[in-house]
Each structure stands twice: as C-alpha cells, then as structure tokens.
Amino acid sequence: MQKKKYNISVEATLEVIGGKWKCVILCHLTHGKKRTSELKRLMPNITQKMLTQQLRELEEDGVINRIVHNQIPPKVEYELSEYGRSLESILNSLCAWGENHLTKVYGDKFSVLEDSVLNEQLK
C-alpha cells in the first residue's frame, strides 16, 4: 500500500494544516504576503527552526508559495498559493470562532493581541 489510509477525510486536512503552528501561519498569510521576519514577529513564541520547518511543509503540500528575492541582505516572502486560498474561508471561520469563544469564556475584554501590540512582546 503506497497510499496512507484515512478513516475519515478530515484526517487528510489535518495532515496539511494540523501542524502545531500551521493554522496560525496560514491565518497570518490570509492578510497578505509576509516576510520571514514579519512572521516571526507575529508569532513571538515560535522558534526559527519550527517556523522554517512548518513553512517548508506547507510549501510541499502546495498551500503556500515561497518567493525568494535574490538580493543582499536576503529577502524571502511567503503567501497563500492559489490552492491555499481554498482554505481561506475555513481559516476565517476558525479565527472568528476563536474570537467568539474568547468572548464567551472571558467576557468582552479578552486578551487577543493583534498585530498592534507586538512591540513590547519582543522579550
């Protein structure tokens, strides 16, 4: 058997977006093309290693594009591929559900730090 067996189709989805950071990365990319360093700032808790690793896997699965600008200093950008954009509505739903969930759990004042508050987080 060369093909992996799945007992339910959602497992195939999870194989693509189920990594520890993949949904988060993809969500950020729904807001547009991002440089590596931007992603790192957007995810203060991810390590360089994990970031690269997860990006590679997402690229292999065809949901993101890696754009290398040949220049010094290096500049690499990532964006949702056309195929990856087929995940956009799911990603948006996931974000929306999370927001609503936080409101439900913590009340109106919950602590999602959007892109704005990143300055003081750079430990």
Partner DNA sequence: CGGTATCCCTACAGATACTG
Partner DNA sequence: CAGTATCTGTAGGGATACCG
Residues that bind a second copy (CB under 8 A): 1, 3-14, 16, 18, 23-24, 27-28, 42-45, 83, 86-87, 89-91, 93-102, 104, 106, 110-114, 121
- Omega cis (within 30) before 73: yes
Residue 76 and residue 68: Cα distance in Å, rounded? 5
Taking the complex as a whole, the smallest distance from the CB of residue 100 to DNA amounts, in Å, to 25
Q: Quick check: 19 binds DNA (CB under 7 A)?
A: yes
Taking the complex as a whole, the smallest distance from the CB of residue 27 to DNA amounts, in Å, to 17
Taking the complex as a whole, the smallest distance from the CB of residue 42 to a second copy amounts, in Å, to 7
Q: Is 43 exposed, middle or buried (0-12, 13-18, 19+ CB in 10 A)?
A: middle
Q: Say how many C-beta atoms besides its own lie within 10 A of residue 55's C-beta.
A: 20
Under 8 Å between Cβ of 64 and 58:
yes
Q: Which of DNA, a second copy, none has residue 52 at its interface (CB below 5 to 8 Å by kind)?
A: DNA
Q: Which of DNA, a second copy, none has residue 36 at its interface (CB below 5 to 8 Å by kind)?
A: DNA
Q: Which of DNA, a second copy, none has residue 119 at its interface (CB below 5 to 8 Å by kind)?
A: none
Output phi, psi for 69, to 5 deg: -95, 120
Residue 88 and residue 117: Cα distance in Å, rounded? 24
Q: Tell me which residues touch DNA (CB under 7 A).
A: 19-20, 35-37, 40, 45-50, 52, 55-56, 66, 68, 73-76
